[in-house]
Amino acid sequence: MRKRSYMVQLFAVVLVSVLLAGCGDAQNQGGNEMPEATNENVEQPPNNESNIAGENIASAMLKGEAKQLYAQFSSDLQGIVTEQDFISLVNEFTAGVAQFELASTMDINGYRSYVWSDAEQSKGLTAIVDEQNTIAGFQVLPLTSYPDTDQLYSTTTFQLPFADEWLVFWGGKNVFLNYHYEYEHVRYAYDFIKVKDGYSYDGDPTHNESYYAFGAEVLAPAGGVVVEVVDGIEDNIPGQMNEQQPAGNIVVIEHQNGEFSELAHFKKDSIVVQVGDTVKAGQLLGECGNSGNSSEPHIHFQVYKKNEDSSGLVIPVAFADGKEWVRGELAAGNK
C-alpha cells in the first residue's frame, strides 16, 4: 500500500478539516497557509455498500439526506462537528437552491475531490472522499466573483508551460477551483502537477525525486524578453515550505502590451536563461522544482500587466486555443 505523501494538506475550513493535496503559493503572495496534515491515513467508519457515492453528495443534500452523509464522515470529522450541527448547516445552506452543478472532479493520491456550485454561482460546495466513499473533507461557502477583472484577459496569447500532460491542481474562478482566487495578486494563477495512475509521486514521499514533476522541463509560455531570474534557492523537503522566499526560483518574461508571465518554484540551479535573453514560445527555461512556499514539486504560472503606477495586476490567461483550464483537468502541452 502506497504511503500518503506529506503534501496532503488541511484546508482552513468553516466546518470540518479537508484533507487535500496542495501547495502554498499564495502565502506571502496574498494567500493563506494550509497547515500540514500530521496523520497519513483517514480513520474510516465501518464500510457500508449503501454509502452515497461521492458524485451524489450535493444532490443528497438537496434531498434531505444529511443524516446519511454524516454517517459517511470519517471518525476524525465526526469528532469535529455533531450530527445535528451538520444537519442544520445543510438545511440552511441549501435553502433556495434548486440544483448544484458539478464543476470539477479530481483524483489525487487516493482521494477524489468534487466541487459544485449553484446556478447563480453564489454558493459553493466541495467534498473529498476516499475509495470507500468515506467523506474525508467537506466545506460550503458563499462564492465571491470579481467581475471587474474576470474578463480582463491578456492580449498576449499563451501556451501551456510544458510539452506533455500535467494535472491542473488549481485553476478556475472560484475559491474551490482555485484557492489563489481570493487574493488579488495571485487571483488567476495556475498550479500544475504531474500524475501517473492518480498519484503525483512513486516511492518515498519525503524525497523530491519521488515526484513525477520534479526535474521536468518548464517552457516559455510565449515569446518575450527575460526581465527577472532568481535561482540558487534550495528545494524544500516535501511538506516543508519556505515562507521567507515564497516564489522560490523564478523566471519573469516581459511580453508585448506591458504584460508579464511569471513561473515559480524552479529546481535549484536548473534555470538556463538570463536577464536580457529573448525567448521563443516553447523554449526551455529550466526544470520544475520545489523551491519557495511550495509543499511539493509543481509549476506556478501567472500573468500580470503593469498599471500606470507600475504596480502589477494579475489577469486571466488567454490561451491559444481559447481553453480555460479548471482544477482536475489534464492539460496537454505542445509536444
Per-residue pLDDT, 24 = 53
- Counting DSSP H helices and E strands in the chain, the numbers are 5, 19
- Spell out the domains of the chain, with CATH numbers in brackets: 42-142 (3.10.450), 148-332 (2.70.70.10)
Q: What is the DSSP letter of 76?
A: H
CB distance 305 to 257 below 8 Å: yes
| DSSP 3-state of 155 | coil
Residue range 91-117: average pLDDT? 97
Chain Cα centroid distance, residue 164: 19
Per-residue pLDDT, 23 = 54
Residue range 113-142: average pLDDT? 96
CB distance 326 to 171 below 8 Å: yes
Residue 198 zone, left/alpha/beta (φ > 0; ψ -120 to 50; rest)? left
Per-residue pLDDT, 50 = 84
| DSSP 3-state of 159 | coil
Q: Indicate if the pLDDT at residue 58 is higher than 50.
A: yes
Task: Work out the pLDDT band at 95, boundaries 50, 70, 90.
Answer: very high
The secondary element (H helix, E strand) that includes residue 59 is helix 57-62
User: Which grid coordinates are listed for 128?
Assistant: 473529498
Per-residue pLDDT, 45 = 53
pLDDT digits (tens, 9 = 90+) for 228-280: 999 999 999 999 999 999 999 999 999 999 999 999 999 999 999 999 999 99
Residue range 203-208: average pLDDT? 97
